[in-house]
Structure 1
Amino acid sequence: MGAGASPLLGLPAAVAAEGIDSGVVAHYGNPLGEQRLLASGTALAQVARGVVTVSGPDRLSWLDSLTSQSIARLAPGESAESLLLDPQGRVEHDIRIVDDGVTAWLILERPQTAALAAFLSRMRFMLRVEIADVSDQHAVIGSLDADLARRILGDDVIVSWQDPWRTGSIGGVSYARAAAEHPGADWTWSETVVPVGALDRLAAAVIGAEVRVAGSLAVDALRIAAWRPRLGVDTDERTIPHELDWLRSAVHLSKGCYRGQETVAKVHNLGRPPRRIVMLDLDGSEGIVVPAGAPVLALRQGEQVEAGAITSSAIHYELGPIALAVIRRAVDPDEILTVVADGASIAARQEIIVPADAGPAVTDIPRLPRLGRPA
């Protein structure tokens, strides 16, 4: 998003978002109705994203060598998601990538943009790449209809990124074992990069009744229902991809080396993630809004002990109060958990995303003989 205030904040009933979504609209007076519009593919939503461009003939092979996804042969117009990990395999950046044949467009959570651009600039060495943080010149528009932004904004559309969460990526794996279809199957989410001036034209189209708009609260509710993790919301400084089922869309398990790959391979092949993400169906009878960070309690030997925390929550237009939480792996998957918020205890039923027994993929590990003993 550009440096100035978004023109969409000047629309009737617009309420500004706070926190990670600061700078865009939280809602236009009817968050549940806005969810319905988004879900039907008839609304657009400005999202709080930044944009970094990487140009030059070495751009894709270079990004491939640094991040978790196989993108060296990304075709023009093709979308991918990749993670930049630290050396211990913890998630630092979530990068949405679409290449136009000349430039790779990286779409990021807005607070992360400057840090990623600085890191990439330090890693250039002698390669033929040019990095630019162009967030102040561009805005990002999301929708569950990939063509809606282009129909409304036409030639203002620069590139559109299609979220691979719906189907998963080639070379990845999903730990989720949904009894029916994975809820992400309906998450046909796209993010479209436009010049900031296109926001004035979008605001005019809304006033002229050409299109409807939704706020960040509506986007987040549908995201939670799709089990879709978000950097800076569902992550902390310890998060590894396995805990959030991020191997589904953002990790290629058989590509070449990259930073943090050893942890990714070890946990997937030989170990288990120490924590796991779940969706919680919350008892809404108290009418309490559950904030991020609210403790999640489980029973242990007859006493309630802290098992994890809420990472994001919403009132869904069909499902009611729901949340994502990251909890200890060993918590009983069948247990009804308790969320503590505003001094009240709220019952929460788990919907398993990452199972407690996720991994290891390699089960026939030969036992080595101890020294001094015959094999």
Structure 2
Amino acid sequence: MTSVSPILNSHPSAVPTPEGDPSPGVAWHYGDPLGEQRAATRGAAIVDRSDRAVIELSGPERLTWLHTISSQHLTALGDRRSAEDLSLDGNGRVEDHFVLTDIDETTWIDTEAERGQALTEFLTRMVFWAKVTPTARPDMAVLTLLGPDILTGPVAEAIALPPDAERYQAGDLPELRHDDEPLGFWRVMPRIGENGSTPVVDLIVPEPDLREWWRLLTEAGAAPAGMWAYEALRVNALRPRLHIDTDERTIPHEVDWIGGPDEAGAVHLDKGCYRGQETVARVANLGRPPRRLVLLHLDGSSAYRPATGDQVSAGGRTVGRVGTVVDHFENGPIALALVKRNVPADAELVVGDAASPDTSATARIDPVLYTPDDQVPPGRAAVDRLRGRG
């Protein structure tokens, strides 16, 4: 897409994302950021996510090839189905996270704006003799619908969403123009928000149709909402975002990206060899990841505003790093953080420079979304039984 979204340029109340934001060129909000979150949780909202990079994979071997170089099981992925996927380095650390949809003999991938070119180049390098062609598609853009009212009624009718659409199911969008241009498609994504209560449907549309789809869907009842609303609901659902909630050391188990499409995961544990698999298998069977992703509730009375990359401390020692920081319409300031596995849910945490009250704030872990380490990995249990310990 273009560097600045036509929605941002044409909407009179649109406020762009802050400088340096990972979603450049789209709206941060439309004048009422907390109200936009309410609309997304109680009715219907539409978010311009056209900053995301879109890649097309064509060719008869696209899925079998992608299966061999990424973490998801894709050989049995059906037509009009989607999945989340990772590219790992040789040590099992996350390099790329992307969503893919196979529809009408084409696989569409979308990922973070900053990773679009790098992922396209990586995929192109890995083709070798496979019958597949990766192509960057800046002429395609992503819109996201949020809220309980997007599954039925006028909004659902506008995109031809069937009443029985389930997670990761996809389908063609209605035709807007009578020519040979692509129509675009919808896909149902995992829910976000508190307790996964907010439905999510993505639209991947031709960039020239972006404003027309925006007009049709807002007229159907979807309220404009900025990235602030989307990020707040994503964080509240403990859904990580690449290179914000992850760092150069992150492995998939740390951020709960484990599982096939039916489990809303990006790493299938029952598939053949791929780069980084050894680390994934070792952690799954014999150990535990060194860190875990947690939801932090930040002290709203503090004068210090934490930022992505700030250190998290407990008892005077560094135990983690802050990811996304955002204000939630009900929970106030919240953040995702990667913290050491042994940090307890009731730990007294400080975010920022713990030695300076002016550049730090207190925080606590949300206990509801905290999963205790009380299960023995299957491989470790088998070893213990062989040694007479189980």
Q: TM-score range by the shorter chain?
A: 0.7 to 0.9
- 1:327 corresponding residue in structure 2: 339
Q: Does the 8 Å contact 2:158/2:217 carry over to 1? A: no
Distance 1:74 1:296 in 2: 40
Q: By how many angstroms is 1:280 displaced? A: 0.8
| 1:123 counterpart = 2:160 | no
Aligned-CA RMSD value: 2.7
- 2:32 corresponding residue in structure 1: 30
- 2:188 corresponding residue in structure 1: 162
Report the residue type matching 1:22 in the other structure: P
Q: Does the 8 Å contact 1:139/1:195 carry over to 2? A: yes
Q: Does the 8 Å contact 2:79/2:103 carry over to 1? A: yes
Question: Residue 207 and residue 262 in structure 1: after superposition, are their counterparts in 2 closer, same or farther (change >3 A)?
Answer: closer
Q: 2:211 aligns with which of 185, 195, 200?
A: 200
Q: Does the 8 Å contact 1:68/1:82 carry over to 2? A: yes
- 1:269 corresponding residue in structure 2: 285
Q: Does the 8 Å contact 1:277/1:354 carry over to 2? A: no
- 2:297 corresponding residue in structure 1: 281
Distance 2:255 2:371 in 1: 7
Q: In the TM superposition, what whole-angstrom CA distance separates every residue of 1:65-122 from its partner, at most 9, and x where no partner exists?
A: 1111111121111111111111111111112011113100001111111111111111
| 1:215 counterpart = 2:226 | yes
Report the residue type matching 2:350 in the other structure: T
Q: 2:323 aligns with which of 278, 303, 311?
A: 311
Q: Does the 8 Å contact 2:88/2:96 carry over to 1? A: yes
Question: Residue 204 and residue 46 in structure 1: after superposition, are their counterparts in 2 closer, same or farther (change >3 A)?
Answer: same
Question: Residue 231 and residue 184 in structure 1: after superposition, are their counterparts in 2 closer, same or farther (change >3 A)?
Answer: farther
Question: Residue 366 and residue 210 in structure 1: after superposition, are their counterparts in 2 closer, same or farther (change >3 A)?
Answer: closer
Distance 1:83 1:359 in 2: 26
Q: By how many angstroms is 1:359 displaced? A: 5.7
Q: 2:142 aligns with which of 112, 122, 140?
A: 140
Distance 2:128 2:243 in 1: 29
Q: In the TM superposition, what whole-angstrom CA distance separates every residue of 1:136-187 from its partner, at most 9, and x where no partner exists?
A: 2011001223674771684355122332477xxxxxxxxxxxxxxx945324
**Identical amino acids, percent of aligned pairs:** 40
Question: Residue 202 and residue 364 in structure 1: after superposition, are their counterparts in 2 closer, same or farther (change >3 A)?
Answer: closer
Q: Does the 8 Å contact 2:312/2:351 carry over to 1? A: yes
Question: Residue 285 and residue 219 in structure 1: after superposition, are their counterparts in 2 closer, same or farther (change >3 A)?
Answer: same
Q: By how many angstroms is 1:313 displaced? A: 1.3
Q: By how many angstroms is 1:267 displaced? A: 0.8
Aligned ranges 1:223-234 → 2 under 5 Å: 223-234=234-245
Q: Does the 8 Å contact 1:81/1:163 carry over to 2? A: no
Report the residue type matching 1:229 in the other structure: P
Distance 1:120 1:104 in 2: 13
Equivalenced residues, count: 350
Question: Residue 4 and residue 130 in structure 1: after superposition, are their counterparts in 2 closer, same or farther (change >3 A)?
Answer: same
Structure-2-length-normalised TM-score: 0.82
Distance 1:49 1:87 in 2: 26
Aligned with 1:188: secondary structure? strand
Aligned with 1:141: secondary structure? strand
- 2:158 corresponding residue in structure 1: 151
Report the residue type matching 2:250 in the other structure: T
Distance 1:349 1:287 in 2: 17
- 1:254 corresponding residue in structure 2: 270
Report the residue type matching 1:13 in the other structure: S
Q: By how many angstroms is 1:295 displaced? A: 2.0
Structure-1-length-normalised TM-score: 0.85
Q: By how many angstroms is 1:286 displaced? A: 2.6
Q: By how many angstroms is 1:305 displaced? A: 1.5
